[in-house]
Amino acid sequence: MRINAITNWAYGVTVLLTGLSGAAFILSTDSAIKERQAVEQHLVLDTLGEELALGAETRSDEARLYVMRGDERHLEAFHRAEEEERRREEATKTATNLGATPAEIAALQDIVREAEALDKVEVAAIDAYQKGDRAGAQVRLFGPEHERLQTALLETVARFRDLTNVRTGAALNEAQERSDWYAAAAKTMLGITAALFLSVLYFILKRRVAMPLTRMSGIVTRLAEQDYAVEVPLDRRSDEIGEMNKAIHIFRENGLERDRLDAERRLDQQTKDLILQMMHRLQACQSQDELAEVVARFAPQVFPNLAGHLYVLNDSRTLLSRVGTWLDPQHSAPTFPSSACWGLRRGRPHVSNRGHSDIACQHLDDEGVIGLCVPLTAQGDTIGLLYFEERSEEEFAVEASRLYLELIAENIGLAVANLQLREKLTNLAVRDALTGLLNRRCLDEALNRQPRGQAGKPLSCLMIDIDHFKRFNDEFGHDAGDVVMQYVAQIIVDTVGDAGSAYRFGGEEFTVLMPDAGEAEGFELAERLRMRIGTTPLSHRGRILGTVSVSVGVASAPDDGPVATLLTRADAALLDAKNHGRNRSVRASGLVFGDDEVQRSLA
């Protein structure tokens, strides 16, 4: 039979079967509508009965609560429930329109009558309660008559729901069976139609043309969407289909190469952006901890497969200490001498044990670990080390990342050097060169920051003076005098600790500020200082210097005076200690300020 005849017969049969299946679907839809109507009727009637029962229970509860508590809110709720119950009773009159049977309508009428009887008992109870007969009201609401009416109402509701369940269930099953039969018939006809259509397609469209074109159409669509992961089966035919297959292969390979180049370019740009952000933040760091945090945050983003440490050299350039870490490296020591790293020795990046072809650094605890050490330099000086450790089986791409590694290391090195230089300059500006204590300028600034009113927190001040200090300079030389001042300063720092701040006031005088401490605490600290300083003899270059004693004046604010005169009062107490034999502590609050010497010191 000719293909044209087969096509015409197939077309006619397909149209016939399609019409029959359409009619079956229409009948099935009509049955489904009837099924839905039956379900809706069941839900409406069932809900109506339930609402009548619940409304009766609600009214009973509100009436009982009212006669028990006397709260008008329960009376109002009772009347509202009563109005809602009347509306539901009106709705039962329209139950005939919902398809209710005479038995169901009779049950509904029984529910209404029983609800009205129950309502009369409750209304009578409320009237009795309002007339002062509380006991009678409670007897009506909790008595056997009320219980009987309420039980009868619930039983009638249950009977009504059983009747509706039986009727609507039967109607629902009938409609469902009819709908299922028509749907099965429609599906069968559609299946026959589909089988016929597919058979015709199979015999009319030759496999050698249709199948390759269909397959290549999907491949071309995915390639047009730049999905180059699609597999293109190789077809070695020598006709147009084969040439088309070969062209698709070439297009896919070109797309894969272009994607690879684009991915490398995007990754390179992302790496540059991350490095630029890292540089900006390194320049804004104000402490070594901030710098370590910046490096630990950005290094994993630049090199996601590498864990690492940031090390900084100590002042003597002999020991490296870890100040930052990321991604939990396991094989490098937290501290090690600078000679233990080949990268520092060579002054250039060093890969330990790469392919067992190079020597491993001594600070690694496993010779089989691959580690990369990048020295940090600034202006020709080595100041630290960046250590990287592999987290996967991938090898270090040192050559490909050399520029980035050197750029990051150079910027981190400059940032560390700037912070160290800033710290040195800050120490020179705020600390005394001989004793290491804070200088007079810091003392003035600390006092200026204190509240000036009487509501401020307590603040104690100790003025400390080394007794007979000139003797050490005259007898043993100025170097010995410097040793004495350093000794006293160190004991002051150790004794004060976190309780306050120590300053060099000038010459052989020192000052201690103790926030949140009164004069009693300050005097106690002064005595501890005096005892510790005076119990240890000193020697210098083999010569015994003897013991050192100090005189201490203690003053506090704001209880004993304003902050503005704190130093003056402490100095006056110090002068009194020196005038009364030295090697003692004196409180400013115990001074008599009419004394001429004290007046002169305050002036």
CATH classification of the domain holding 384: 3.30.450.40
> What's 515's domain CATH number?
3.30.70.270
Contacts of residue 109, Cβ cutoff 8 Å, sequence gap at least 6: 92
What's the number of domains the chain is made of?
Answer: 3
Kindly state the tokens that stand for 28: 């099935």
Q: Are residues 465 and 566 in the same domain?
A: yes
Q: Are residues 296 and 380 in the same domain?
A: yes
Tens-place pLDDT, residues 7-43: 566 667 777 777 777 776 687 677 667 667 666 666 7
Contact 343, 361 (CB under 8 A): yes
Distance CA 24, CA 31 (A): 11
Q: Is residue 106 part of a domain?
A: yes
Q: Are residues 420 and 453 in the same domain?
A: no
In DSSP terms, 585 is beta-bridged to: 552
Q: Is residue 247 part of a domain?
A: no
Q: Are residues 375 and 305 in the same domain?
A: yes
Distance CA 319, CA 384 (A): 10
- What length is written for the chain? 603
Question: Would you call 583 helix, strand, or coil by DSSP?
Answer: coil
Residue 284's pLDDT is: 86
pLDDT along the chain (603 residues), means of 10: 53 75 73 68 69 72 76 75 65 60 74 76 78 77 78 78 75 74 77 72 58 73 74 70 76 80 85 86 86 89 86 86 89 90 88 72 80 84 87 55 77 84 77 88 88 73 92 86 91 92 92 92 93 84 83 90 89 93 91 52 43
Contact 533, 488 (CB under 8 A): yes
Kindly state the tokens that stand for 46: 């069932």
Q: Are residues 53 and 116 in the same domain?
A: yes
Q: Is residue 221 part of a domain?
A: no
Residue 503's pLDDT is: 95
Q: Is residue 260 part of a domain?
A: no
Distance CA 339, CA 335 (A): 12
Last residue of a domain, one of 198, 222, 252: 198
Q: Is residue 474 part of a domain?
A: yes
Q: What phi and psi values does residue 308 have, to the nearest 5 degrees?
A: -170, 170
Q: Are residues 28 and 68 in the same domain?
A: yes
Q: Is residue 219 part of a domain?
A: no
Question: Would you call 83 helix, strand, or coil by DSSP?
Answer: helix
Contacts of residue 41, Cβ cutoff 8 Å, sequence gap at least 6: 98, 99, 168
Question: Would you call 587 helix, strand, or coil by DSSP?
Answer: strand
Is 508 in the active site? yes
Q: Is residue 355 part of a domain?
A: yes
Q: Is residue 278 part of a domain?
A: no
Last residue of a domain, one of 198, 228, 256: 198
Half-sphere exposure of 449 (CA within 13 A, CB side): 8
Closest CA to 384 of 351, 352, 414: 414
**Long-range CB contacts for residues 476-480, cutoff 8 Å, separation at least 24:** 476/540, 476/543, 476/545, 479/540, 479/541, 480/540, 480/541, 480/543, 480/545
Contacts of residue 255, Cβ cutoff 8 Å, sequence gap at least 6: 223, 226, 228
Q: Are residues 418 and 467 in the same domain?
A: no
Q: Are residues 471 and 564 in the same domain?
A: yes
Q: Which of 82, 122, 508, 519 is catalytic?
A: 508
Q: Are residues 417 and 544 in the same domain?
A: no
Distance CA 399, CA 406 (A): 11
Contact 62, 81 (CB under 8 A): yes
Last residue of a domain, one of 397, 428, 459: 428
Q: Are residues 184 and 118 in the same domain?
A: yes
Q: Are residues 416 and 446 in the same domain?
A: no
> What's 70's domain CATH number?
1.20.120.1730
Domain that residue 292 falls in: 285-428
Q: Are residues 35 and 103 in the same domain?
A: yes
Number of H helices, E strands in the chain: 16, 13
In DSSP terms, 375 is beta-bridged to: 385
